[in-house]
Amino acid sequence: MSQPVLEMRGIVKVYGNHPVLRGVDLAVRKHEVVVLIGASGSGKSTLLKTANLLERIDDGQIFLSGTDISDPRVKADAVRARIGVVFQHYNLFPHLSVLDNVTLALRKVHGVSKDEAAERGRAVLARIGLADRGSSFPDRLSGGQQQRVAIARAIATDPELLLLDEITSALDPMLVGEVLDLVGELKAGGSTILMATHEMDFASQVADRVVFLSGGRVIEEGPAAQVLGAPQQPETIEFLSRTMR
Amino acid sequence: MSGAGAEALPPISALELDRRRYRRNRTGQSVLISLVSTAVVAVIIWQFLIHSPGWKVTQETFFSPEYFMAALPLVWDGLLLNMRVLVFAVIGVAIWATILAGLRSLRGPIFFPLRMLASGYTDLFRGMPFLIVLYLIGLGIPALGLTDQIIPVELLGTVALVLTYSSYVAEVLRAGIEAVHPSQRLAARSLGLSHYGTLRLVVLPQAVRKVTPALMNDFISMQKDVGLISVLGAVDAVRQAQIQVAMTYNYTAYVVAGLMFVAFSWPFIRFTDWLTARQQAREQIGGLV
């Protein structure tokens, strides 16, 4: 099989004396959607943050398309520019219009001209169904629309990898669907995605593989149908019995 | 989860140790570079000074060791007065500024005159130079002839400090009050707390935390401005230095006073920096960016 887009080996992260990740191994291959599940505090968010170097790992190695990005000689900004991230609370810039939010990285990081960036930005907005809201400011949009804009901002630069951190947790149940539909479209479009979520139904529909984390360790992983449908480990069974009703 | 503890972790790999060594080396290098560059700049300034044509005279009139030692105890006596004034002024400012900020944050049309007065006050005293306030209070109050005794200039200076600095501090506090999320007010009022109770028990404690660095900044600024009460005739550190200069025709006493004020404010400056850093560390979760 070809080289994974993201490969994490033996990731350890300790806050003070509290280990959050205790040696996690994980790989995401091209066009693959890997879903992280687990209780709050199991290390899902921390793992995503270490993947784009927002948190420094205390041991282990991270490879992005074969390059060791955990090497301190690697320029972290350049690595982050190759990865798209969507946060739980959208984190849109309130002082910029929707289009400027989406095109900021194109213009200021990737050196794309203003006109071309605007054109590409409008194309991305059209793709997420918000073509007419480019000049609006984020606070004029609904939560679901804001999160779709945040996704647009992450995919505008055609990143190699998308990290989605519980992107529906802050949304009204009515608005969850539109965001998840968009993630489904991204998968269909061939994006490589690592996401943490509490939406088990969605995970079973869209995930190629599911990874169950608990206490900073991978307890079980495999195809979605296997992990969610016929879990082997007692911890996984207990977790799923409490979340899927 | 904590029961498992750190012993459950695998031993640190050679790779990670290597990375840590590399980072330490990088840190060492940056420290070295900054030390060297600082030393170079210091030497350049030093050379520039000692090769100036008037350096000899300047050295004698501003940096004379004998005059320095002579002025030290006298200026220190003066500084004690500055410290006393500062203590009382800080207490006065804390009370008066909180009242002003509270008045400015009152809601409802009934309180319009109070709000208006408070905002007029802060406009007036923030706009007026402190020196002018000092003269107006220091010379104007005694002129009223309210008492047969002489009003001590230290007291008048303290009043002027309180009047001026309260207006700044009140604005800082108000910014803090407004930065507390409205939902906090809703939650407090829902418990049945009054407007005043909400302000005192819920809003102000959070507001003060948000603006502590700005408040400390005002405090440090006040620490220096205490020296201005010398214009009213109070024999403080600045006045003592002035007296020394007038008697000896040597300016070293000014340098002494200047250094003393720096030494006096330095602990608070460092404390403010530490406080700000701690607050930032607490509020930011992702540590690297």
Which residue of A54, A72, A215 is in closest CB contact with B289?
Answer: A54
A46 burial (CB, 10 Å; 0-12 / 13-18 / 19+) is: buried
Residue in B closest to A21 by C-alpha: B9
Asked whether residue B139 is assigned to any structural domain, the reply reads yes
Say yes or no: B287 contacts chain A, CB-CB below 8 A: yes
pTM confidence score: 0.77
Asked whether residue B238 is assigned to any structural domain, the reply reads yes
pLDDT score of B55 = 92
Say yes or no: A61 contacts chain B, CB-CB below 8 A: yes
Q: Mutating which of A14, A42, A45, A59 best tests the B interface, going by the most B Cβ atoms within 10 A?
A: A59
Say yes or no: B77 contacts chain A, CB-CB below 8 A: no
Which residue of B6, B10, B26 is in closest CB contact with A23?
Answer: B10
The CA distance from B278 to B213, in Å, is 11
Q: Residue B138's domain is classified under what CATH number?
A: 1.10.3720.10
Q: What distance lies between CA A59 and its chain's CA centroid? A: 22
Instruction: Report phi then psi at B97, rounded to 5.
Output: -65, -40
Contact list, A72 vs chain B (CB under 8 Å): 19, 22-23, 26
pLDDT of A150-195, one tens digit each?
999 999 999 999 999 999 988 888 888 889 999 999 999 999 999 9
pLDDT of A186-229, one tens digit each?
999 999 999 999 888 888 889 999 999 999 999 999 999 999 99
Quote ipTM for the complex: 0.77
Asked whether residue B33 is assigned to any structural domain, the reply reads no
Asked whether residue B48 is assigned to any structural domain, the reply reads no
Residue B87 is part of which domain span? Answer: 64-274
Is A72 in contact with B9 (Cβ distance < 8 A)? no
Instruction: Report phi then psi at B193, rounded to 5.
Output: -70, 145
3-state secondary structure of A31: coil
User: What residue ranges in A73-232 does DSSP mark as E strands?
Assistant: 83-86, 161-165, 193-196, 209-214, 217-223
> Using H for helix, E for strand and C for coil, what is the string for B153-192?
HHHHHHHHHHHHHHHHHHHHHHHHHHHCCHHHHHHHHHCC
pLDDT score of A175 = 87
Asked whether residue B59 is assigned to any structural domain, the reply reads no
Query: pLDDT tens, position by position, for chain B (289 residues)?
Result: 444 444 567 788 999 999 999 999 999 999 999 999 999 999 999 999 999 999 999 999 999 999 999 999 999 999 999 999 999 999 999 999 999 998 988 878 888 999 999 999 999 999 999 999 999 999 999 999 888 888 899 999 999 999 999 999 999 999 999 999 889 989 998 888 988 899 999 999 999 888 988 998 899 899 989 999 999 988 899 999 999 999 999 999 999 999 999 998 899 889 888 888 887 777 665 556 6
Strand order in the sheet with A59-64: A18-28, A6-15, A59-64, A67-68
Asked whether residue B36 is assigned to any structural domain, the reply reads no
Contact list, A71 vs chain B (CB under 8 Å): 19
Which residue of A10, A54, A58 is in closest CB contact with B286?
Answer: A54
pLDDT of A38-80, one tens digit each?
998 899 999 999 999 989 999 999 999 999 999 999 999 999 9
- Count the domains in chain B: 1
Contact list, B289 vs chain A (CB under 8 Å): 54
Asked whether residue B58 is assigned to any structural domain, the reply reads no
Asked whether residue B97 is assigned to any structural domain, the reply reads yes
Which residue of B2, B6, B23 is in closest CB contact with A14?
Answer: B6
B140 burial (CB, 10 Å; 0-12 / 13-18 / 19+) is: exposed
Q: Which residues pair with A212 in a beta bridge?
A: A37, A220
Enter the tokens of residue A73: 């000689």
Is B10 in contact with A215 (Cβ distance < 8 A)? no
Compute the nearest-CA separation of B120 from chain A (Å). 32
B13 burial (CB, 10 Å; 0-12 / 13-18 / 19+) is: middle
